[in-house]
Amino acid sequence: TGSVGASVASAEQDELSQRLARLRDQM
């Protein structure tokens, strides 16, 4: 379950990075 937790965390982190990139993209 540790690795499932880690991959969920990593996916959420990626989503945040993508949202940040989109926010900055349109600037």
Partner 1 sequence: PAQLKAVQHHLRTAQEHEKRDPVVAYYCRLYAMQTGMKLDSKTPECRKFLVKLMDQLESMKTELSDDDSITQEVVGNAHIENYALKMFLYADNEDRAGRFHKNMIKSFYTASLLLDVLSVFGELSEENIQHRKYARWKAAYIHNCLKSGETPE
Interface with partner 1, residue 11, by CB under 8 A: no
Longest dimension (CA), the chain: 40
Alpha-carbon dihedral 15, 18, 20, 23, rounded to 10 degrees: -130
Q: Does 26 bind partner 1 (CB under 8 A)?
A: yes
Task: Compute the least distance from the CB of residue 8 to partner 1, in Å.
Answer: 10
Q: Determine if 7 is a binding residue for partner 1 (CB under 8 A).
A: no
**Residues at the interface with partner 1 (CB under 8 A):** 9, 12-13, 16-17, 19-20, 23, 26-27
